[in-house]
Amino acid sequence: MAKYRDEAYEEEEWETPRKKKSSGSKSGSKSSGSRKSSGHSSSHSSGHKGSGKKSSGKKSSKKAQARKQRRRIIIFIIEIIILVIAVFVLYSVLSGTKSGKLDLDEDKIIINEQVRDAEETTMRGYRNIALFGVDSTTGALTKNTRSDTIMIASINQDTGECKLVSVFRDTYLNLSNDSYNKCNAAYAKGGPEMAINMLNMNLDLNITDFVTVGFAGLTDTIDALGGVYIDVDNAEIGHLNNYQLCIAEDLKRSYRPVESTGYQLLDGLQATGYCRIRYTAGDDFKRAERQREVLSAVADQAKKASLPQLTETANAVFDEVYTSLDLTEIVEMLGNVTNYYISDTAGFPQENNRATGTIGSKGSCVIPVNLEDNVRWLHQFLFDDYDYEPSARVKECSDKIYSDTNGYIKK
C-alpha cells in the first residue's frame, strides 16, 4: 500500500514540470509569431508543425521513460534513507551500550535434560527471554546488584503471541549452585548468567538470552515513546509521587507530580515510580503486576511509534542496557514490533500455590508450596502443555524447598 501511495504522489509531483512545458510552448508560439513577421511564416510554420507531430510521440515516450526512471531513483533514494536510518540505529545500539553486550557461554547455561526433549515437542517454536530490572540509577547492570524485577517473556514465533510471567524476587529457590535463597540474589552473585541458570533449573526452561535495564533506561524508553497510559488509583498516587521524587533526585532530573487519579498519560519518571509501588494491598505481588502493566503499555506505545520514534527509543534505552541479543536480532524485533502482542500475564509462584514466611537469616520469602505443581502450571500457561511432567531436577529442588521452609510457612 505504501509503495502505491508513494507512486501516486510522484505522479502528482511530476505534473508541475508538465505545466511548465505547456507554458514553454506558449513562449514558443510567441517566437513563432516573430518568425511570421519575418515573412517566411507560412511554409516554415507548417513544416515545423508536421515535424512537431512526429517528434511529439517520441518525446512523450521519452518523457514516460524519464518519469519511470525518476520514480525508480526516488524509490531507491527512499530505500537508501531507510537503510541509513537502520544503520544509524545499529550504530547507536553498538556505541550506546555502555554496559555492553554479553556473549553468554552456552556451555555454561544449565538446561535440564528433560527440557531438551520438550524443545522438540511442546516448547517447539517458542523463544524465552529473561528480563531483569535492577535497582540501580548509576548503571550498575552487570552484577553486584539484586534484580528488583525478574520476568520471563515467552514468544510464540509462529503467531507473535507473547506471555509475561513475573518471578517474585523474594521467591525461595535454588540459586543454581545448590544454595537456596531469595531468587534475586542469583543476579547479585553471578550476574545474568547465574540468574538465567536459576530460572532454567527451577522452572524447566531453556532461556539463553536476557535484557537488563536500570531506572534510567526504563525512564528514557518511556519518554522516547511519548509516555504510557496507566490507570492510577487513590491508594497509588501518593506512593507514585514519593518514588518518582527519589528516582529524580538519584538521576538529577526534574519531575512533575501526578495530580489526579484515573486513566492518564504518565511520563518516564512517573511510570517508573508507579512500577516501584509496593505499600498497598497486594504488597510485592501487586508491584509485580504493575510492572507487567507498564511493560504491556510500553509494547502498546511501540506499536504506534514511527520509525524516528523507534530510533530515538533505541538511542535512549541502549544507553542503559545490558544484553546478550545480537544487533541483527534487535533490529529484526524493532522491524517486526507490530507483529507481536502480549496476550496474558501472570506471577510465579501462582497465587493458590504459594505462601510467605521468614526463613531464618534469609528473611521474609515467597515460598512455592509445591514447586513441581507450580512448574506444571507454568508450562500449561506458557506453552499450553496440560500434560507436562517436571524434570527430576525440579522434583529434587521441590523436595529441598519443602524441607527448608515447611516449618516457617504462615499457616
Tens of pLDDT, residue by residue over 26-50, are: 334 433 344 334 344 444 444 444 4
Buried b (16+ CB within 10 A) or exposed e, 306-336: eeeebbbbbbbbbbbbbbbbeeeebbeebee
Predicted TM-score (pTM) of this structure: 0.69
**Which grid cell sits at 405?**
521452609
Cα(169)–Cα(147) distance, integer angstroms: 7
pLDDT for 69: 62
pLDDT for 342: 86
Domain segments of the chain as ranges: 1-15+56-96, 101-348
Question: Tens of pLDDT along the chain (411 residues)?
Answer: 333 333 332 333 333 333 333 334 433 443 334 433 434 444 444 444 444 444 455 556 666 666 666 555 554 454 444 444 444 434 343 444 444 567 788 889 999 999 988 999 999 999 999 988 876 555 555 555 667 789 999 999 899 899 999 999 999 999 999 999 999 999 989 999 999 999 999 999 999 999 887 777 788 888 888 999 999 999 999 999 999 999 899 889 999 999 999 999 999 999 999 998 988 888 888 988 998 899 888 888 887 877 676 766 666 566 577 888 775 666 666 666 677 888 999 999 999 999 999 999 999 999 999 999 999 999 999 999 999 999 999 999 999 999 999 988 866
Closest by CA position to 227, among listed 294, 177, 165:
294
pLDDT for 85: 42
- Coil, helix or strand at residue 46: helix
**Which grid cell sits at 279?**
505499600
| Cα angle value 239/245/246 (rounded, 5°) | 95
pLDDT for 36: 38
CB-based contacts of 145: which residues, under 8 Å, 6+ apart?
A: 134, 135, 136, 187, 188
Strand 180-182 to 161-167 pairing: unpaired
pLDDT for 321: 76
pLDDT for 61: 67
DSSP 8-state assignment for residue 385: -
CB-based contacts of 274: which residues, under 8 Å, 6+ apart?
A: 230, 232, 236, 240, 243, 266, 290, 294
pLDDT for 70: 58
Candidate CATH numbers 3.30.565.10, 3.40.630.190, 3.40.50.970, 3.90.550.10; the one for domain 101-348: 3.40.630.190
pLDDT for 347: 95
Cα(220)–Cα(240) distance, integer angstroms: 17
pLDDT for 212: 85
Cα(206)–Cα(118) distance, integer angstroms: 10
Do 381 and 163 meet the contact criterion of CB atoms below 8 Å apart?
yes
Cα(26)–Cα(24) distance, integer angstroms: 5
User: What is the CB neighbour count within 10 angstroms for residue 355?
Assistant: 17
